[in-house]
Structure 1
Amino acid sequence: MPILQVEDLTIEVVRKNIRSLRLTVYAPDGRIRVAAPTRLSTASITQFVLDRQAWIRRHQAKFAARPQPAALRYESGEKHLYQGRSYELQVHSTAGRPRVELCEAEQRLGLYVPAESTAGQRQQVLATWYRAQLKDQLPALVAKWEPIVGAQAKTWAIKQMKTRWGTCNIQAKRIWLNLELIKQPLPCLEYVVVHELVHLHERLHNARFWGFMDQFMPDWRQHKAALNQVMLVPAGGDGC
């Protein structure tokens, strides 16, 4: 990806078939990306960034001030999220198939792995379980929201993403959801489902797009705000 240096700011530049410039500052590290029309001059992009320096630095400072998540070791006693609730991880040795057992009443996640398993292997077992939970829940959410939004995706899939909660390939009608959504409250997951479906009506985040969001999910703002407070940290290996 081409890099543009503007004073002390390092900018990733993505050329697209779009009509106007779009600027994004990503959590958690304040990475900056500009999406620019294909033929726009570098000088115009530079001036665009210079005009928005204060905005960029405010967002970078906000991300830098957030508490950094503790590194996970996948050991007993750690706290792990599932659908907005914190669960205590309990690691158990097993000679059988690795698995995860959820005990909602005690807010505990039982992780059953071989005694000699590494932190990376335990992480992968938990990530596989997270993926299965999200995959199991997705059909009901799609069946609920596609008729409301009046749009239908051809393909729904899950993957780990570093900077987005979801993406939509409008031409292929393919929607990807971030695996990390399984850690967030269910309404946040539903917000992303609706958000990506609305892109099948409107590609851009413009007044028409947000008007559709108001129509289909009037309380979308609170769910978007909740996700904006989350620092995306990979579970297994703004948002939309």
Structure 2
Amino acid sequence: MQDIHRLLPAAFEGWHYELVYKSIRHIYFRIYPDKKIVRISAPHQISPKTLEYAILAKSAWLTNKITTANHVVQPYKPISAMTDSCSCMVWGKKLPVVRKAFKSRPGICLTTESEITIRVPSGYDAKKEEKLWQRWLRSLLNERIQTLLEKWQPVMGVVAAECRLKKMKTRWGSCNTSVRRIWINAVLVHLDPCLLEYVLVHELAHLEEPGHTQRFYQIIETYLPDWKSREIRLKQIALRQ
């Protein structure tokens, strides 16, 4: 492999470069913020001089992209193996988790605004506990969504046939206008509630205007005048996990 590091911008802390030769016709530069990798894919037959020119031409672009990626916030997600000292992000707040031995049915609850209590028998199976956390987080999200639907549907004059949850890698929400079904990203339970509200209003607006037209954004502006600031906050969160 050719020594390309002398041509590239100094790698930021934790980042590294990869040069991969493939059966392709052009050179491609890809940034992977989650892995902190810059991957350069080049044709097998490329000459060292051509590769050098291409890398030098992309130097400023790479520096800008890596700098931007370093400031992207990763989404909060629950820890699979909960421990006495762990915490969990709920509605944008990092709350301590208090574990209590309990012989009856396992459960999780927000005992106060600043603490989560989990009650499970001693030695409770880790996989079962992870499922318990997932069910609890989904119940919190579904409850908040229902409250928001009751608030916004009458105001906007639209009704969703159903609203479901799922983990999505590229979207915070989606709307199937033909069947009037809305999907909400389950990760939103870990973020500020105002971001969930924006996503839901955004998808409800699609029931009136399917495309991202000027009229669509006028609808959003009518109900959420600060929608742009909420959208910017969501764009600063990397969905890929």
Asked if Structure 1 and Structure 2 have the same fold, meaning a TM-score greater than 0.5 normalized by the shorter chain, the answer is yes
Shift of the 154–55 alpha-carbon distance from structure 1 to 2, 3 Å rule, reads farther
Query: Residue in 2 aligned with 1:93?
Result: 101
Query: Residue in 2 aligned with 1:238?
Result: none
Cα drift, residue 145 of structure 1: 0.8
Q: Among all aligned residue pairs of Structure 1 and Structure 2, give the percentage whose two residues are the same amino acid.
A: 28
Matched residues in 2 for 1:144 and 1:55: separation?
45
5 Å-filtered alignment, 1:119-198, equals 119-198=126-205
Cα drift, residue 55 of structure 1: 7.8
Indicate if the aligned counterparts of 2:72 and 2:237 stay in contact, CA closer than 8 A.
no
> Any unmatched runs of 5+ in structure 2?
1-23, 37-59
Cα drift, residue 111 of structure 1: 1.5
Q: Which residue among 111, 115, 119 is the counterpart of 1:103?
A: 111
State the secondary structure of the residue aligned to 1:75.
coil
Cα drift, residue 183 of structure 1: 1.8
Query: Is 1:62 aligned with 2:59?
Result: no
Pick the structure with greater CA Rg.
2
Indicate if the aligned counterparts of 1:80 and 1:89 stay in contact, CA closer than 8 A.
yes
Query: Residue in 2 aligned with 1:33?
Result: none
Matched residues in 2 for 1:210 and 1:159: separation?
25
For residues 63-112 of structure 1, give each alpha carbon's deviation from its aligned partner in whole angstroms, at most 9, with x where no partner exists: 3554667993311222211112221012233332111021224x111122
Matched residues in 2 for 1:181 and 1:77: separation?
24
What TM-score do the two structures reach when normalised by structure 2?
A: 0.67
Query: Residue in 2 aligned with 1:80?
Result: 88
What TM-score do the two structures reach when normalised by structure 1?
A: 0.67
Indicate if the aligned counterparts of 2:78 and 2:88 stay in contact, CA closer than 8 A.
no
State the secondary structure of the residue aligned to 2:132.
helix
Letter paired with 2:87: K
Indicate if the aligned counterparts of 2:85 and 2:97 stay in contact, CA closer than 8 A.
yes
Matched residues in 1 for 2:108 and 2:186: separation?
17
5 Å-filtered alignment, 1:193-204, equals 193-204=200-211
> Any unmatched runs of 5+ in structure 1?
11-24, 31-53, 235-240
Letter paired with 1:98: P
Q: Which residue among 217, 226, 232 is the counterpart of 1:225?
A: 232
- After superposition, the CA RMSD in angstroms is 3.5
Cα drift, residue 227 of structure 1: 2.1
For residues 88-137 of structure 1, give each alpha carbon's deviation from its aligned partner in whole angstroms, at most 9, with x where no partner exists: 012233332111021224x1111222322344332221111111122222
Indicate if the aligned counterparts of 2:110 and 2:117 stay in contact, CA closer than 8 A.
yes
State the secondary structure of the residue aligned to 1:101.
strand
For residues 1-60 of structure 1, give each alpha carbon's deviation from its aligned partner in whole angstroms, at most 9, with x where no partner exists: xxx9962357xxxxxxxxxxxxxx997569xxxxxxxxxxxxxxxxxxxxxxx9899556
Matched residues in 2 for 1:186 and 1:5: separation?
47
Shift of the 183–66 alpha-carbon distance from structure 1 to 2, 3 Å rule, reads same
